[in-house]
Amino acid sequence: MVLLNSEGLNVAVVGVTGAVGTRMLKMLEGSPLPVKILFPLASARSAGKTVFFGDKEWTIKEAKPESFENIDIALFSAGGSVSKVLAPEAAKRGAIVIDNTSAFRMDKDVPLVVPEVNEKALFDHHGIIANPNCSTIQMVAALEPIRKAYGLKRIIVSTYQAVSGAGAKAIAELEKQSEAVLNGEKPETVIMPVKSDEKHYQMAFNAIPQIDLFQPNDYTFEEMKMINETKKIMEAPEIKVSATCVRVPVSISHGESVYIEIDRNNVNAENLKELLRNAPGVVLEDDPAHQIYPMPVNASGKKEVFVGRVRRDPDVANGFHLWIVSDNLLKGAAWNSVQIAESLLKLGLVSA
Amino acid sequence: MVLLNSEGLNVAVVGVTGAVGTRMLKMLEGSPLPVKILFPLASARSAGKTVFFGDKEWTIKEAKPESFENIDIALFSAGGSVSKVLAPEAAKRGAIVIDNTSAFRMDKDVPLVVPEVNEKALFDHHGIIANPNCSTIQMVAALEPIRKAYGLKRIIVSTYQAVSGAGAKAIAELEKQSEAVLNGEKPETVIMPVKSDEKHYQMAFNAIPQIDLFQPNDYTFEEMKMINETKKIMEAPEIKVSATCVRVPVSISHGESVYIEIDRNNVNAENLKELLRNAPGVVLEDDPAHQIYPMPVNASGKKEVFVGRVRRDPDVANGFHLWIVSDNLLKGAAWNSVQIAESLLKLGLVSA
């Protein structure tokens, strides 16, 4: 981050106190983006508190339509209902919105962007750009180089998702529940699997096959996000995608067991690994002989997407497995959003 | 269990102090099998200790070749190296061995049995019967009714496996590590993912994509067990099977995200659910509208295989997902072994 007094970008961060919002500030600090003024925004409850950014203290204000006058870029991560109301207000006032919620992702006029995959879709923005779902981002970042080289027929993914996808309070609940179980007490269940849903279950030492609400087709909304967003980001509606999303008792970083079928039968695992070694934003961690493979505890706090366990289906020539792990709050949210802001500047879509 | 003085079966339990061995006693107590004398066997270290069984106290003896004189059924769960040495000794002395290790599973002369699937394979035994791998058992129990009705082209499974598969000490390690992490301390890593392997990693709040040792083809031995054992049990080498096995911080009960392709295109999820409702040993827990689906914390301590999240791939007419959960120490080990003993009696292969 380059903090300037006279020139640079005016950047608003909406939901600045949340698990993703705090990380958006960190990612902005580590970015070469020139920031003139930071506008930390949140709900009325947090207004008046302060945040540190670039060695300066900034006062949080309540996010309102008027907050977005003279803003160049507004990063939103305060929930879908806030984005639905305020993102159009920000765009109307000339800000480019980078929205981390699912509110606009499938809108035709809204680019859904993972810079390593479809940066050029940013040229088609109309004021709002959507940051994809965390579990989708890490998967498409790893699969795009393979799709480009060998084509992708289908994707079948099973996720091992961290509770932080449900917010900072979900991490606290997992910790509290874990303590209770270790003490032989009955854990209190308030948030997981979905705060707004009817029933709540123990997350500690458990696996819950529900992330977000169930849809009429018996898939969860999280699963449908992975299915629909993958096709949109890759601009490939013909790829067959299906998903099972499971929450596991991990605080940060999602794991994904991904099965793909490519368009060719003469490719081996080493060919895929070679692509992944050179893929932007991807780190290949794949050395079974030395027990090297990605794990959530190692990926947390890092910006890259880690890929390992690459191997061919013993019975299917064009079928391959990959194990993909990434920090859901960074590449899955805060970092991808700041990356989009960097791309906007690089492509001349915003000027400092 | 019917405990008799003058008639009934002489039953040996080898590894009686372990996580599976203690449960074998419990399952025997709940079974109609008539037991005349129990022979609790273990390593020299546990010899002299006692176990309670049928309101009587029995003294543990060291397992030796001579221990198996006059034994009708010997249940083994003391590790592959013990089985390799002692199971043939027991069989030589006339006992029927039901072995819970991987030592003999792929031997041509050894039936690999899940009673709901291939009970009749017991007729071909030559003294040793193998109990399949825990993660395989629950999967084939759920899939066999589907295979019989509609045929199975392929299976792609991603597991969410409990640490108790690595023994009682692995549960203790998970608990100790969890406490350490909650207290902000560095957890000690001794057992997971594989005690005999070189490196050990934090299991608490993590997901580790390694169960058992890596094979030359970059699959783990656990994954190869699922692939090979499934084909043997179903007597269907033509089914394409592939697997990714992941350890999660759960104490007991494995979860499995299973994707199948059946031989027909005109079947819907409700057809599969109807089969599963009537499948022996299977309980369908599938009501997304009311957040009903299987979870490890609910399955633990129960003998059944729980199946939910049954739904069709949106893009593939013959592709379906299932989420399968079962207690890896019961149906995955102790209960399946005792079930095999019950089948032997029922089929007249052993007589009380």
pLDDT tier at A55, thresholds 50, 70, 90: confident
Residues shown for chain A: 352
Whether the predicted pLDDT of A1 surpasses 60: no
pLDDT class for B352, splitting at 50, 70, 90? confident
Q: How near does any CA of chain B get to the CA of A251, in Å?
A: 6
CB contact under 8 A, A246 and B240: no
DSSP string, B283-309: EE--BGGGTB---HHHHTT--SEEEEE
Whether B17 has a binding-site annotation, put simply, is yes
Q: What are the pLDDT digits (tens) for B225-279?
A: 999 999 999 999 999 999 999 999 999 999 999 999 999 999 999 999 999 999 9
Q: How far is Cα A241 from Cα B315, in angstroms, rounded to an integer? A: 7
- Closest partner residue to B250 (CB to CB) among A197, A205, A313 is A205
Q: Does B257 touch chain A (CB under 8 A)?
A: yes
B254 is annotated as an active-site residue: yes
Confidence check: pLDDT of B4 > 90: no
Q: Do B156 and A240 touch (CB under 8 A)?
A: no
- Residue-wise pLDDT for B97-116, tens only, equals 999 999 999 999 999 999 99
CB A294 within 8 Å of CB A131? no
Set of chain A residues whose Cβ sits within 8 Å of the Cβ of B179: 182
To the nearest 10 degrees (0 to 180), the angle between helices A269-277 and A134-150 is 120
> What is the rounded end-to-end Cα distance, in angstroms, of chain B?
13
Average pLDDT value over all residues in chain B: 97
Task: State whether residue A187 sits within 8 Å of chain B by CB.
Answer: no
Is a pLDDT exceeding 60 seen at residue B20? Answer: yes
What CA dihedral angle connects B164, B169, B171 and B175, to 10 degrees? Answer: -170
User: With 70 as the cut, is the pLDDT of residue A2 above it?
Assistant: no
Question: Is the pLDDT score of B169 beyond 90?
Answer: yes
pLDDT tens-digit map of A202-241: 999 999 999 999 999 999 999 999 999 999 999 999 999 9
Q: Smallest Cβ distance to A246: which of B160, B199, B240?
A: B160
pLDDT in tens, B276-298: 999 999 999 999 999 999 999 99
The pLDDT score that the predictor gives to residue A4 is: 62
For B22, B194, B322, B342, the CA distances from B38, given in Å and listed in that order, are 13, 32, 40, 16
Interaxial angle between packed helices B19-29 and B335-346, expressed in degrees from 0 to 180 and rounded to the nearest 10: 40
| Burial of A138 from C-beta contacts in 10 A (0-12 / 13-18 / 19+) | buried
Q: Which helix (H) or strand (E) holds A243?
A: strand A240-247
Q: Where are the alpha helices (DSSP H) in A213-257?
A: 221-233
Q: CA-to-CA distance for A95 and A131, rounded, in angstroms?
A: 16
> Going from the N-terminus, what domains does chain A have, and what CATH number goes with each?
2-132+333-346 (3.40.50.720), 136-327 (3.30.360.10)
The predicted structure's pLDDT at residue B1: 56
| Distance (Å) of CA A304 to CA A99, A142, A326 | 21, 10, 7
Peptide bond into A132 cis (omega under 30): no
pLDDT higher than threshold 90 for residue A3: no
Please give the pLDDT value at position B55. 87
pLDDT digits (tens, 9 = 90+) for A78-90: 999 999 999 999 9
pLDDT, position A165: 93
**When comparing pLDDT for B182 and B6, which is higher?**
B182
